[in-house]
Structure 1
């Protein structure tokens, strides 16, 4: 009998992603496609027709991959952009047709739980409070965790409405962004972090920081100068705050035409990476984090672990 195969499709604000795993957790296929579903949603509160078409085309391609690999169980999830859009539910009907699976609009709590489970996979998490940071295109999840029974466990979580695409759309009009535009984007993030600190005072006690998703993984790849993406080298990499500030200064002051030539920076992320870095810089400054451990695993790994029934 062939091993049971599970898969996760994550429809995000910036990218639409697929992970297929064997029953033992072995990764069979991991695909990231920048579809920019959330472009303009912060302003219009509606999914753009072209963005919807791009995403559905991507999903149809993923359905072919699922059939090719004979996947037994699939979970399709959507997050920030779909939650915020007035036509989000209509979009989900089209997603169901494209994937032949009923999609799930994740709540902030579920998104946080799954991101935490995925991000901590394969990492050594020390005792004390840890904070998992998941910077997406439209929102950022802050998940406070603690070791309980030797296992990283969620204590509290909040989702804040800042991300790489959202801040880019909201604040940046110049290329490269003007200093005041960067200041305003970071200030927006500070305000929302301060709200989280008021609601969850224990978050300031975090002594270990873990970062997942595109902005953080890309920042680490740029810092390492990766010419060929190597997730194994990135997973567990300690990204120091000084390095984050250095990458931020470099990318934020370059016009897009120059920025795209930085090793480690995918061309299709170059136009929004500065927005994501504004979130990362604000977080590391506000929490006085000396470094953040990079996780190449994410929400999809958490979903697949649950589908496999992993402990």
Structure 2
């Protein structure tokens, strides 16, 4: 899937005019090294958020095989290192100082015995200082990145961030100042780990798919929220926000796009029936058909069904008719947080002067 602008709807993506250079806001960067992807976003602040200047995304499968060995493999580390080297070059070209770039690593480096060793290799070789974040920080940042997709008329929202090695779920309820998080959990099931645990077989695709759904269902059965929140879902007063490549791929299938288009997908509302129909179509396509589909491609062909199964398990546990698709998440949350930190530093500096 091609990399796209990570700014929320309404931002035109226009680069500043040459005459604006002296007064243009400073650039900021966010780098997210996940279990499956390495993604970089460089942007400048605007009044309503940010405008993207440069972006990069590559599937690296850093967590490949980790569920069996507990270690990052040499091939996976080499793939991720090559992608991170490109990110470091782009950061250097933009002259981004360290205080204006946030670089994090998630589940693969958290879980792997040699994760810290790889982080040190990256620091020495590229100059990038990756920080391994905790699951709760990952969930919080994903919510921040998706916050302007929350429907203000809803009473509750469940943000589902499907990663390669884990899935973060955050329950929010409406309060006086918008939505506040009332519970979260990190399920140790992602598209890479689930696909590795349940390799596709030609015998009975539906049985294979349902086995993945059951695996995820078992991982999320002890949600850390009370019955009041569950009642809001049962009463139809809540919606889901789904953020991941697997869920955006489902949206592309639903829209029958000839190629992936971020402006058509990000912010799209889908019904539960729409999600189920898209998953059924993908199942019918089989591995070769999914690999040929322009919204999926060979790199995601074996992972998209795992993502659909994760979403299906969540929808069965927390039923609601509406799902909002987010082509944004942790990386955008990182970027917005770093920009807020920069504004606070400038205010303190002006105060001292």
Query: Which of 275, 278, 281 is the equivalent residue of 2:312?
Result: 281
- The change in CA–CA distance for 1:177 and 1:96 in structure 2 (over 3 A counts) is farther
Contact 1:176 1:254 in 2 (8 A): no
- Residues 37-60 of structure 1, C-alpha deviation per residue, up to 9 Å, x if partnerless? 111111111111101000000000
Measure, in 2, the Cα distance between the counterparts of 1:67 and 1:283. Answer: 41
2:289 — aligned with what?
258
2:35 — aligned with what?
13
Cα displacement (A) at 1:272 = 0.9
Measure, in 2, the Cα distance between the counterparts of 1:13 and 1:112. Answer: 15
Measure, in 2, the Cα distance between the counterparts of 1:63 and 1:6. Answer: 14
- Greater Cα radius of gyration, structure 1 or 2: 2
- The change in CA–CA distance for 1:201 and 1:17 in structure 2 (over 3 A counts) is farther
Q: Structure 1 residues 8-17 or 123-132, which shifts more?
A: 123-132
Contact 1:232 1:296 in 2 (8 A): no
Structure 1: gaps spanning 5 or more residues: none
- The change in CA–CA distance for 1:16 and 1:147 in structure 2 (over 3 A counts) is same
Query: Which of 92, 99, 108 is the equivalent residue of 1:67?
Result: 92
Cα displacement (A) at 1:88 = 0.8
Count of residues paired in the alignment:
310
- The change in CA–CA distance for 1:122 and 1:195 in structure 2 (over 3 A counts) is closer
Cα displacement (A) at 1:196 = 1.6
Query: Which of 57, 61, 74 is the equivalent residue of 2:82?
Result: 57
- Residues 251-274 of structure 1, C-alpha deviation per residue, up to 9 Å, x if partnerless? 223332222222422331112111
Alignment of 1:1-311 (within 5 A): 1=22, 2-24=24-46, 25-72=50-97, 73-121=100-148, 123-175=150-202, 178-196=205-223, 200-204=226-230, 205-206=232-233, 207-309=238-340
2:10 — aligned with what?
none
Contact 2:290 2:297 in 1 (8 A): no
- Residues 37-89 of structure 1, C-alpha deviation per residue, up to 9 Å, x if partnerless? 11111111111110100000000011111122232411111111111111111
Measure, in 2, the Cα distance between the counterparts of 1:82 and 1:22. Answer: 29
Cα displacement (A) at 1:179 = 3.3
- The change in CA–CA distance for 1:124 and 1:203 in structure 2 (over 3 A counts) is closer
- Residues 125-164 of structure 1, C-alpha deviation per residue, up to 9 Å, x if partnerless? 3341211011111111100113344333322211101111
Measure, in 1, the Cα distance between the counterparts of 2:44 and 2:204. Answer: 44
Q: Structure 1 residues 259-268 or 162-171, which shifts more?
A: 259-268
- Residues 111-138 of structure 1, C-alpha deviation per residue, up to 9 Å, x if partnerless? 0110000012355433412110111111
Q: Structure 1 residues 232-241 or 53-62, which shifts more?
A: 232-241
Cα displacement (A) at 1:30 = 2.6
Contact 1:156 1:200 in 2 (8 A): no
Q: Helix, strand or coil: the match of 1:269? A: coil
TM-score (structure 2 length as normaliser): 0.82
Structure 2: gaps spanning 5 or more residues: 1-21, 344-353
Cα displacement (A) at 1:194 = 1.1
Question: What is the RMSD of the two structures over their aligned residues, measured on CA atoms?
Answer: 2.0
